[in-house]
Structure 1
Amino acid sequence: MITIRPLAANDCLTELTALLHVSYASLAAQGWNFTAVDQSVEVTRQRLAEAQGFVAEVDGRLVGTVAVRGPKPAGEAYIADPPPALYTTPGTAILSQLAVHPDCRGQGVGEQLMDAAEGWALGQGFSKLALDTAEPAVALRRRYQRRGYVATGRVQWQGKTYASVLMCKPLQRE
């Protein structure tokens, strides 16, 4: 049984960071140096500072995570870069750090985490949810497209081995 819940203050960020590393290892093997491939616990903490994190558990074991937050102030760095305009647009929430442990893929964990993030953003009054992913990561882009995300631009993050596609989805009450 998969349980999705908000990240709690007593959740271990070392464990969460290790989950990100193992979840992103297959992307690193393809030559894509996503931040979550090897980020430190401190970077995990920073990326969650203004976000609502969610975790997925199976029998008390952490198997997935995602973070969602409101728009960034125009002057605030996004990791090491200025944020793209999409990420500073009022009414736009930002999704990041979606990760599912390789042992749990194909069981709907990622979809449930996305549902939680989208539901949170809608509940907070955001009208759109934005994200970015590696342009060459065709399977990831298709996954987001199936959920209604549309490519809206490109960005080249400093130090990344790939260009990223910015994607956005309008949020609607059902």
Structure 2
Amino acid sequence: MTIEVALRAFREGDAAEVTDLLHRAYAELGAQGLNFTAVDQDEETTLSRASAGACWVVVARGRIVATGTVSLPPHEGLRTLTRHARVSTRAWLNQLAVDPSLRGHGYARLLREQGFAWARGAGATSIGLDTALSADHLVRLYRGWDFTHRDTIQVPGKVYRSVVMTRSL
């Protein structure tokens, strides 16, 4: 059975559904005591973060099942924490999320490729990301995508240290 999947730009009206998706996708990290913003962010935060760059959603069976945002430049707070976010030609991958019940179907890879293409088109030559150092499965995923550990930072208000990873485009 083939499931029709559509990749499209985030729309303001998607905020509630994307917020719910983020809560589901990040719940396991929250259960580990990691206070990622996406664990409990409100719709206003979702709108703000989605509009800080280019944001896409994956729609399957009429519902949003994955999302990701790429910004260029990275947000100012991050630029104050690591020199790797101050590279003028470096985009940043943010709030990548896939519905936990649908992982393994290539939705994150689809969003990654879209984000990389957008970043290249916007003039980026590399891309970075940050995630909890203790989120081993995420660090492994990003290493598998050829990201390299560049720095470790402490984001104010977070209970965990974050790894900064980058890769060329």
Does TM-score exceed 0.5, indicating one fold? Answer: yes
Distance 1:126 1:49 in 2: 18
Q: 2:54 — aligned with what?
A: 52
Query: Post-superposition, which runs of at least 4 consecutive aligned residues in structure 1 deviate over 4 A?
Result: none
Within the candidate set 1, 5, 18, 1:2 is matched to: 5
Unaligned stretches of 5+ in structure 1? none
The alpha-carbon deviation at position 145 of structure 1 amounts to 0.7
Where does 1:1-174 land on structure 2 (aligned, <5 Å)? 1-9=4-12, 11-72=13-74, 76-78=76-78, 82-171=80-169
**Matched position secondary structure for 2:28:** helix
CA separation in 2, counterparts of 1:72 and 1:18?
24
Given that 1:65 and 1:113 are in contact with CA atoms closer than 8 Å, whether structure 2 keeps it comes out as yes
Unaligned runs of 5+ in 2: none
CA–CA separation in structure 1 for the residues paired with 2:129 and 2:74: 13
Partners of 1:7 and 1:170 in 2: CA distance: 25
- Larger relative helix fraction: 2
Per-residue deviation, 1:88: 2.3
Distance 1:59 1:49 in 2: 25
- Cα distance per residue 1:74-121 (max 9 Å; x no partner): xx335xx94422222200001100000111111111111111111111
Secondary structure of the residue aligned to 2:45 is helix
Cα distance in 1 for residues equivalent to 2:132 and 2:77: 19
Q: TM-score, normalised by structure 1?
A: 0.89
Q: Any idea what SS the aligned residue of 2:32 has? A: coil
**C-alpha distance in 1, partners of 2:62/2:119?**
26
TM-score by length of 2: 0.92
Change (3 A) 1:83 1:54: farther
Report the 3-state secondary structure (helix = DSSP H, G, I; strand = E; otherwise coil) of the residue aligned with 2:77: coil
